Amino acid sequence: MFAELEKINARPEPFEFYTARELWDDEHTSQRMLSFHLNEEIDVSSRNARFIDQSVEWIASRFDIGSETTIADFGCGPGLYAERLARKQAKVTGIDFSRRSIQYARESAIRKGLSIRYIHQDYLEFEMEERFDVILMIMCDFCALSPGQRRNMLERFHALSTPNGSILLDVYSLSAFEQKQETAIYESNLLAGFWSPNPYDGFLNTFKYETEKVTLDKYTIVEAGRVRTVYNWLQYFTPEGIEKEFADCGFVIESLYSDVRGTPYDHPSSEFAVVAKKRGGARI
């Protein structure tokens, strides 16, 4: 028992393990995540409906969205942004590796008469001949990736962008990092049964990595027939840090905002949004 508890409480190296698929493609947790997406009042898997409405209005204005605009929404979930942008007449492609979310998004688009292309794939492996005017990665998905994965993602964005294409994504700031505290929690059926339909013991270990500005929520789920661990990593950024990552992959950052609604940038904000373009591309 002591050895098992030591393993549960062990601190891994930053981004040592990657278990996103276990979260998004598990039959039970993917259903719970979809229900969070579709709850218009909360900010869990997606932001609340009012925020998304405001965000899409700003995106449509900022990038002059019209009938010829091609958009790729990375981590599109059940299509909350994709549907609103399609109503702006944009040609939208949504990419997500949650099979359940993509299925819901496709069915929803058919019900509403919207022409949206949805692709079920790990976006770290996504390739396509088509090029996009605007690429989105919203809800701080970029923060969940390791340095190598982020570079891979930005290189893919560069290859997938039109010569004048733009990138919009949001990230957590150092203000959010400072608010995070290390914890160790045990709870029967942790998170109200989120992890399994069966009884389980849940352990949550939250670690902070001061040098790397990374946090980890490490969930260990103990059921009668199995034990599994899910690692939820988050990288926190300064504007200078993310500017360097973009520059190393051929982008120039045009603008910073406090969120993807276009709120003016405020240094104490817990997150910020980045608009970037290919180096040498014309400004919007």
Give the pLDDT confidence of 26-46 residue by residue, as tens digits. Answer: 889 999 988 878 887 877 777
- Does some domain include residue 84? yes
Q: Tell whether the model's pLDDT for residue 206 goes beyond 70.
A: yes
234 has a pLDDT exceeding 50: yes
Residue 150's identity, in one-letter code, is R
The whole-number average pLDDT for the span 169-194 is 97
Same domain, 51 and 78: yes
Which helix (H) or strand (E) covers residue 118, if one does? strand 116-120
Report yes or no: 85 and 56 within 8 Å, Cβ to Cβ.
yes
The answer to whether the beta carbons of residues 42 and 36 sit under 8 Å apart is yes
85 and 163 together in one domain: yes
Q: Is residue 255 part of a domain?
A: yes
* 259 shares a domain with 230: no
CA pair distance 232, 244, nearest whole angstrom: 24
Contact (Cβ atoms closer than 8 angstroms) between residue 200 and residue 227: no
Residues 270 and 140 in one domain: yes
Identify the pLDDT of residue 39.
Answer: 85
- pLDDT for 282 equals 41
- In this structure, the answer to whether residues 211 and 185 fall within a common structural domain is yes
Do 36 and 88 belong together in one domain? yes
The secondary structure element, H or E, covering residue 200 is none
Mean pLDDT, the chain, whole residue set: 94
pLDDT confidence band for 244 (50 / 70 / 90): very high
Question: Residues 128, 19: one domain?
Answer: no
Residue 283: inside a domain? no
Least confident range from 34-43, 228-237, 246-255: namely 34-43
Instruction: Note whether residue 284 is domain-resident.
Output: no
Asked if the model's pLDDT at residue 281 lies above 70, the reply is: no
Per mean pLDDT, which range of 11-20, 32-41, 196-205, 210-219 is the poorest? Answer: 32-41
Domain presence at residue 137? yes
Token representation of residue 99? 């099979």
pTM of the entire structure?
Answer: 0.94
Looking at the fold, whether 130 and 61 belong to one and the same domain comes out as yes
Q: What are the helix and strand counts (H, E) for the chain?
A: 10, 11
Asked whether residue 252 is domain-assigned, the answer is yes
Looking at the structure, tell me whether residues 211 and 165 fall in a common domain: no
CA distances to 66, 187, 238 from 262, rounded to whole Å, are 19, 39, 18
Read off the pLDDT band of 280 (50, 70, 90).
Answer: low
Domain tally for the chain? 2
List helix spans (H) across 79-146: 80-87, 99-112
Residue 249 structural domain: 30-172+237-278
Tokens 């988050």 appear where?
234
Same domain, 247 and 184: no
Is the domain of 57 the same as that of 185? no
Residue 207 lies in a domain: yes
Would you say residue 182 has pLDDT above 70? yes
Cβ atoms of 158 and 250 closer than 8 Å: yes
Which CATH number belongs to the domain containing residue 66 in this structure? 3.40.50.150
Six-digit token pair at 233? Answer: 């990593």
Residue 17 scores a pLDDT above 90: yes
Higher-confidence position of 20 and 140: 140
Per-residue pLDDT for 226 more than 90? yes
Average pLDDT over residues 128-149: 97
DSSP conformation letters of 3-70 = HHHHHHT--PPTT----HHHHHSSHHHHHHHHHHHH-TT--SSS--HHHHHHHHHHHHHHTT--TT-E
Phi-psi region at 234: left, alpha or beta (left = phi > 0; alpha = psi -120 to 50): beta
Pair (8, 78) in one structural domain: no
Q: What is the per-residue DSSP string for 131-152?
A: -EEEEEE-SSGGGGS-HHHHHH
User: The tokens 């359940």 sit on which residue?
Assistant: 100
The answer to which of 38-52, 67-81, 185-199, 222-236 has the lowest mean pLDDT is 38-52
Nearest 5 degrees, angle CA 242-CA 248-CA 249? 95
CA-CA-CA-CA dihedral for 253, 208, 264, 60, to nearest 10? 60
- H or E element that contains 227: strand 227-237
